[in-house]
Amino acid sequence: MGTTRCLTRLPLINSRVYIIARNMSIDIGGMRIKYKDKNDTFLEKQLVSKEPFGQFKAWFEEACTRKEILEPNAMCLATATKDGFPSARFVLLKGYGKEGFKFFTNYGSRKAKEMNENPNVAATFYWEILNRSVRIEGQVEKISDEESTIYFHTRPVPSQIAACASYQSTPIESRDILCEREGVLEKEYLIPGKEVPKPSYWGGYIIRPIAVEFWQGQRDRLHDRIKFRKVKADEVPDGKLLHEGDDGWVYERLSP
């Protein structure tokens, strides 16, 4: 007698039906959305800057105008151990400019420990409604304690207290422990005129990029990819494959 297999029909996007059998993986290969039309491409002549920071500013500010994008400054930060084992999580960008991209976190967290032993990181923004993504690769370093303290005190007081109450990434018995710590701190610092001291284990980082890629999705899947990177010592831009940018940057179009 043959083995009976349990089949389930799940309607998914584009009215396609997928057959799922027990002990089989779920097929979502047909899930796709329409990107931009061929007449809405991202060409080199449309660059607003010949270095990545000005181009990022233009795209980021456009993302900030779209109410559908709740947190345009959310970026997926990827770190790795000294042995190259990766991990990724979302953090919030809190500043950017020609010096790099800034964010803040707990110095005892997993990401902080990995950045301490391996400063090579990557970060990705994805603004779905715009069909755009920005990828950043570079090295990370801590910003000054003074700058971290200034930013810390711009945060809402409950957020300051939460940073003091949590020893990020460490195991904890229950949420009640966090709430107890928070309650103690609230009694001490939720007093008019009293300042919450920045914990010594909390502060900021800056990613100093060596490469920044701008991606725009296209309906025919011939997506646009323009990558800025630092020029190598032996490279000479030819104006065809490699274009000369500003401030020591070059840019090139990558195949999708």
Find the catalytic residue in 32, 221, 225, 253: 221
Q: What's the longest Cα–Cα distance across the chain?
A: 79
Please say if 253 is a catalytic residue. Answer: no
Structure tokens that stand for 243 in this block: 């274009």
The DSSP secondary structure of the chain, one letter per residue, reads: -PPP--EEEEE-GGG-EEEEETTS----TT-----B-TTS---GGG-S-SSHHHHHHHHHHHHHT-TT-S-TTEEEEEEE-TT--EEEEEEE--EEETTEEEEEEETTSHHHHHHHH--EEEEEEEEGGGTEEEEEEEEEEEPPHHHHHHHHTTS-HHHHHHHHH--TTS--S-HHHHHHHHHHHHHHH-STTPPPPPPTTEEEEEEEEEEEEEEE-BTTS--EEEEEEEPPTT----SSSSEE-STTEEEEE---
Q: Report the catalytic residues.
A: 221
